[in-house]
Structure 1
Amino acid sequence: MPSTNPYANPPAFHSDDIQPSNKYDAAFHIIPVPWETSVSYEGGTANGPNAILHASVQLEHYLDGSFPGDAGIYTAEPVDCDAPASTVVENIKVATRGALNLGKCPILLGGEHAMTLGPIQACEELDIPFGIIQFDAHADLRYAYQGNLYSHASVMERCTDLGVPLHQIGVRALCKEEVDCRAERGVTHLDAAELYWKGYPEQLLPEDFPEHVFITFDVDGLDPSIMPSTGTPVPGGLNWYQAIDGLERALKGRKLLGADFVELAPQPGQHAPDFLVANLIYKFMEIAQRLDCLKS
């Protein structure tokens, strides 16, 4: 009997116009992570990766003067997420490290934000100083949430446990514990209200921020008017061009280790948010190439 899941049997990323590359020739490795274990409001993130892949075949090959897909896109098998949280994080780390070992740029498709600990652990094993740039509505700096150390609300706490510098963009919902954590750990930030009233500063990142970076983009960092398909929408988020401008500023002069795009909770019949995330990822590829920030 055919599957009734509208997100089943996804194609490779953007494979309608772009012949999928093998993992040795592709600049970008798309890694689906259909993980949903600690969502605390609305669910559905397990379908996020497949929804992005389905939407990606509606993209145009040509984008803003170039053909980003010509650098090669390899779509890996989904990470096994049917296991305890610590094992899933290890599986994600191993998948990410496979791309990094080949000198490629891993782009992970979430899935809930808890998954980001995996690629950060993989990047740490490279023994290269690097920082995390987080686009998000939430700080995700709780020690634990609902008793879960691996919660989506604690993931950046776990990442900064490793001593990795963190800069946050677009946050507009956080608790006192997270405010204190920012101060204790030196987490720098450009919160949504400041961005709205003052715009981006000339220099987005602190002067001493590492050259190598990992981007984590929680789609609830976008305003719910353009991104309703996420578990914890918060008003006052980034619009499309603010998000693009932020990614450009974040990558300028940097070397990119990898990225993830997380927390899409697709709604059947509502395709615009799925396509938005697919388009954002393809635009991200274009920016990374144009600014020559792919790690060599």
Structure 2
Amino acid sequence: MASHFLAGEIQNAKPENATFHVIPVPLEASVSYGAGTAAGPEGILTASRQLELWDGTSVPANFGIHTADPVDCSGKIAKTLDRIEDAVAYALECEAMPLVLGGEHTVTLGALRGMKQARRKFGVVQFDAHADLRDTYEGSPYSHACVMRRATEDLNIPVFQIGVRALCEEEAVYRQKNEIPHLDARQLHLKGIPTHILPSDFPDRIYISFDVDGLDPSVIRSTGTPVPGGLNWHNTLTLLERILENRTLIGADVVELAPQSGDHASDFAAAQLVYTLLGLYETP
């Protein structure tokens, strides 16, 4: 595992002195097509060595980034989720913003449990090619295909979905029945990015869950299920900026990178996305 985020450019800050905690979670337990998500965190950390510290408006690295030890993903998934929850809760205890590096999308459930410990209302904005609203998949309620079902049904967290373009009938019915707001990829293509994206009653505190397959394969190809017709880079930046206008980013994850030999562009794009998210955090 590469030593830490932006290694070679900055020191790994002490957890109590850092504004950001980057938490690697190399989980690969329920991938259903292309494999390799266990190597995702390492791919992002390695690629981060090539990032510029100036992000176009500021230098997020100046506020201190602590990269935690990778979460132990051995054994039963329930134990792994507990460890993720503890790591995120610790970041919040340190008054830092947690950013989890996946691993498969299931890691988000552990992160959201950790966020819930703060007992402050928040909503999840999910960037994804898939709805991830199945109740079970391949016999497990903890599959990557079920993570947003667990968030909405088990944790009672409101979710807004962006970029979806592949979902099953069960998910479509569940989404309609539960009135889960969304801005799907086809709608974005036909109508463009609206000025106001989130409903007025959506929580002010925002957790971003970013499955990299939400981006078009021309941006990131190294992922388990690259679906055509996804978001381009600059539209994604605009979406993030408009989502967070008059709202507060409190945490995030970047998941489902599956590095492939010869495709360092995907790893770099994922690392750039991580740093972009750090730059959108309003530091105290």
Q: Is the TM-score greater than 0.5?
A: yes
Where does residue 100 of structure 1 map in the other structure? 92
- Give the letter for the 1:222 counterpart: L
Alignment of 1:1-296 (within 5 A): 9-161=1-153, 162-288=155-281, 292=282, 294=283
Contact persistence 1:30–1:75 (CA under 8 A): yes
Note the alpha carbon deviations across 1:105-134, whole angstroms, 9 max, x for none: 000000000111001111112111110000
SS at match of 1:113: coil
Distance 2:234 2:59 in 1: 20
Contact persistence 2:35–2:224 (CA under 8 A): yes
Distance 1:129 1:100 in 2: 14
Distance 1:144 1:249 in 2: 33
Deviation at 1:269, TM superposition (A): 2.3
Deviation at 1:271, TM superposition (A): 0.5
Contact persistence 1:18–1:61 (CA under 8 A): no
Contact persistence 2:249–2:280 (CA under 8 A): no
Distance 1:46 1:274 in 2: 13
Distance 2:181 2:192 in 1: 16
SS at match of 1:107: strand
Please give the root-mean-square deviation of Cα atoms over the aligned residues, in Å: 1.1
Deviation at 1:186, TM superposition (A): 2.3
- Give the letter for the 1:102 counterpart: C
Runs of 4 or more consecutive aligned structure 1 residues displaced over 6 Å after TM superposition: none
- Give the letter for the 1:165 counterpart: P
* 172-181 or 33-42, which deviates more: 172-181
Distance 1:152 1:128 in 2: 25
Count of residue pairs brought into register by the alignment: 283
> Identity, % of aligned pairs?
50
Deviation at 1:103, TM superposition (A): 1.2
Distance 1:263 1:216 in 2: 11
| TM-score normalised to structure 1 length | 0.93
Distance 1:29 1:252 in 2: 23
Q: Which residues of structure 1 form unaligned runs of 5+? A: 1-8
SS at match of 1:281: helix
* 182-191 or 88-97, which deviates more: 182-191
Distance 2:140 2:173 in 1: 20
Distance 1:103 1:185 in 2: 34
